[in-house]
Amino acid sequence: MFKEGRHTSYIVKEGTPFILSLLVLAILTLLSGLEIVSILFFFITLFVTWFFRNPEREPPKPDTLVVSPADGRVIKIEEAYCEEIPGQVLHKISIFMSLFNVHVNRIPCSGQIQSIRYREGKFFPANLDKASEFNERNTIVIGRTDGRKVVTIQIAGVVARRIVWWIKENSTVQIGQRFGMIRFGSRLEVFIPREAKILVKIGDQVKAGQTPLGEL
């Protein structure tokens, strides 16, 4: 069973090096008499602290739902193949995360982590279709108790240069649990069985661990 206890602080630990470094720069420039520069660094420090926020979320109860793994905007819904589930046409939902979204990612459905596969790649803007094919990514396959699979893919963007995940293969996970993040703007994709009813449309704003994407 995956336990998210060490990742429940209001500011995720991955943000600490950035926040402390900026704070030190703000203090040093203030002591050097560069007040305007110091104020700028203080504001940047506040923004970066806010970026790494990690609010509590209460997932919906029905086990038939697949929820969004990310905060952001739905930019594409299509039928597509996924190399992790060969031979099946699936629903593919793409979500774009801007700099202003919460960047902690959450498990879309309860089940067992069957595989985690990281792949290096390029850093095209995450809202472009070619980012889905060429960018750095981390693919996670979740096997549900009913035998069906849901795949979620973390995709880095032009600014995001670090994909983080906290789960391990064979871990049992629950819908809405935190499982990782992507630093500074990115994209997530979710592959859902074709028989699922899609509950969102292009342009919808979604919240990780809360907004249902589909119902099985």
Written in H, E and C, the secondary structure of the chain is CCCCHHHCCCECHHHHHHHHHHHHHHHHHHHCCCHHHHHHHHHHHHHHHHHCECCCCCCCCCCCEEECCCCEEEEEEEEEEECCEEEEEEEEEEEEECCCCCCEEECCCCEEEEEEEEECCECCCCCCHHHHHHECEEEEEEECCCCCEEEEEEEECCCCCCEEECCCCCCEECCCCEEEEECCCEEEEEEEECCCEECCCCCCEECCCCCEEEEC
186 is catalytic: yes
Positions marked active-site? 186
